[in-house]
Chain A
Amino acid sequence: MEKVFVLISIFFVIYLIFFKRLRIFEILTVLSTLILLLIVGIRYKHFPVVGLFETLNFYALSLILIYFIWGTEDKKISNLVYIVSLVLYSLSLFGKPFTSPFVSDSLNTLLFPVHVAFSFISYAFFTLSFLYALSDRETDRVLRLNYLGFITYTIGLWSGGIWAFKAWGVYFLYGMKEIFSFVIWIYYSGIIHLKYSNNRKLINIATIVGFAIVIFTYLGIGLFMRNTHSLR
């Protein structure tokens, strides 16, 4: 049943890319994803950002919303945003909502929604900055989006660190996912310093590489490697 909502979003997004950019379809895409996440949350009694299906939908929703707020009325960028969203929605069809009757007690904390929501919001910021960098447009916006991504990512990391300490007794583990998460943080802390360098090309290249690290951390490690944040 949940996948129907994904298919609805896919329909709207395809229309937005290949036909006409209608505000009403943009709003309906957001609404259908919101309703989907709401249904999953109520039906399976957890904050709906667990596993591949839910995280991809949350990620797509965050990207579109962030584009509404921090993006520009640029046809090329809007098309790129909807193409990425289309990829995210389509990939989510390979997953399913987290339906296990056993939800660990450790997820029963406010730190869980804060950690995952801010992490995916930051991914959305990094994705949008990547799309601007890729199009070689608005370096100031790229830097601003990177900084916003860095702030939200730091909040995600900070809440994850506190949660990890409360649940495992350590705020950092020497695992693939955790090391890469740390890499994203230090790498983007480097990028935000580039504000003062005025080197547009370097900013764009660094942003594109940063996005590659983010995607590998989320999907590469999450799907294909042993880790504490498995998406499988």
Chain B
Amino acid sequence: MDKIKKILLDINYSFYALVLASFFCILGSFIVYFNPKLYNTIDYKALFKWLYYNQSIKNFWLYLVTIIFVYLGISGFYCLIYDFKRKNIFTLIFHLSFLLILVAHLINSIYFYKVSDYIIPEGVPKTINLPESDKPIRVFLDKLNYDITNEGFIKNLKADLIYLEKDEQKSGKISINNPLKIEGKYLILKQASPFLRSITFKLRSEERLIIPVLTPEGPFNIDGVLFQFLAHNEDMSAFKVLVIDGDKKETMIWSLGQNVNIKGQSYTITQIIPDTIGSIVVDIVYDPSVYLIFFASTLFVFTSVIRFFEKG
């Protein structure tokens, strides 16, 4: 027992453990870099869950680094007792904050998740379903504020949201670098983008074909022919539309000047009028470790500075 205790308190062992962890992390970073397919979901799941669902020999470094940090955690705990006995207050807090960082990261590695790229259109109630059987987030984009620079870039993006928390209606603001916490989850604003509400295809001077996009309860029906919007290109000059005429289903790309055949009659698209509204794109993050990790790391920074002035 004394021998184990001696090893755990030995500075050289701690140094070599940290060097070994560094070595495996360096190796791991190259494995991550050259295997993007395997690791493309690692930033979206808790580490241990990710390891469970992505079993691969290439993940050996993650297991080894975890084992080394378990050793460092135990060693740090023994150092803590040693510091306490010797009344080294700042060194004690220094080691304690390191242990708290490890505990926080352990919590993160068990519970964290992130879901990406949810579009919330302006003025439309949106329910966002979450993984891990978590309660969905119900949110409504009330107002979108932004400035356009001379070069045409969006700046100072801010959004006013109305959301339900514990069945109570609340309001909050979200902007870049300022997430909004709803029911313990963080809504992270990524960008604003125009969102297509409907497209009007002008076929002849008086005939218009309006295809709704935002609330596609089902295909849009004109004279027995069903039209359903599928996708559009970036500048909204071409649209993929599913046309269902009786048993006949056809996916068509509609763009300006194109001839469209409806019920045997040919029409030319003379104008495309997309009706867009504002929307925001958000990520949703659940990370119960975040307060602890920032508290512990702040403590770590302070005690390292104090130790410098204390010991020189």
Contact = CB atoms under 8 A, between A and B. Distances in A.
Given A169-B114, A169-B285, A197 B12 contact: yes
Given A106-B177, A108-B177, A197-B15, A179 B28 contact: yes
Contacts of B270: none
A194 interface: yes
Contact of B285 (A104, A111, A170): A170
Contact of B11 (A105, A182, A197): A197
Given A150-B304, A175-B32, A176-B33, 17 more contacts: A106-B176, A147-B304, A151-B305, A166-B178, A166-B188, A167-B188, A168-B188, A168-B283, A169-B188, A170-B43, A170-B287, A171-B290, A179-B32, A183-B25, A186-B21, A190-B16, A213-B22
Interface of B: 11-12, 14-19, 21-22, 25-26, 28-30, 32-33, 39, 42-43, 112, 114, 149-151, 153, 155-157, 175-179, 186, 188, 283-285, 287, 290, 293-294, 297-298, 300-301, 304-305, 308, 312
24 contacts: A101-B153, A105-B156, A106-B177, A144-B312, A147-B304, A158-B294, A158-B301, A161-B294, A166-B188, A168-B283, A169-B186, A169-B284, A170-B112, A170-B287, A171-B290, A174-B42, A176-B30, A179-B28, A186-B18, A193-B11, A197-B12, A206-B19, A213-B26, A225-B33
Nearest to A169: B285
Contacts of B25: 179-180, 182-183, 186
B18 A109 contact: no
A7 interface: no
A214 to B, nearest CB: 12
Contacts of A183: 22, 25-26, 29
B22 A154 contact: no
Contacts of B175: 105
Contact of B297 (A151, A161, A173): A161
Interface residues of A, number: 48
Closest 10 CB pairs of A and B: A190-B18, A169-B285, A179-B29, A105-B176, A169-B188, A101-B151, A187-B22, A190-B15, A102-B153, A166-B177
Which label, helix, strand, loop or mixed, suits the secondary structure of the B interface?
helix
A186 B39 CA distance: 23
A89 B210 CA distance: 61
Contacts, number: 128
Most buried by A among B151, B175, B177: B177
A193 B153 contact: no
Nearest to A187: B22
A189 interface: yes
Contacts of A191: 15
Contacts of A163: 177
A157 B294 CA distance: 11
A154 B94 CA distance: 13
Contact of B308 (A148, A165, A182): A148
A154 B157 contact: no
Interface in A132-174: 144, 147-148, 150-151, 154-155, 157-158, 161-163, 165-171, 173-174
A170 to B, nearest CB: 6
Contact of A194 (B15, B30, B290): B15
Contacts of B308: 147-148, 151
Given A180-B26, A186-B22, A105 B177 contact: yes
Interface string A182-225: 11001101110110110000000010000001000000000001
A135 to B, nearest CB: 22
A183 B83 CA distance: 26
B297 A158 contact: yes
A226 interface: yes
Contacts of B30: 176
Contacts of B11: 193-194, 196-197
A116 B281 CA distance: 27
Nearest to A162: B294
A173 B304 CA distance: 25
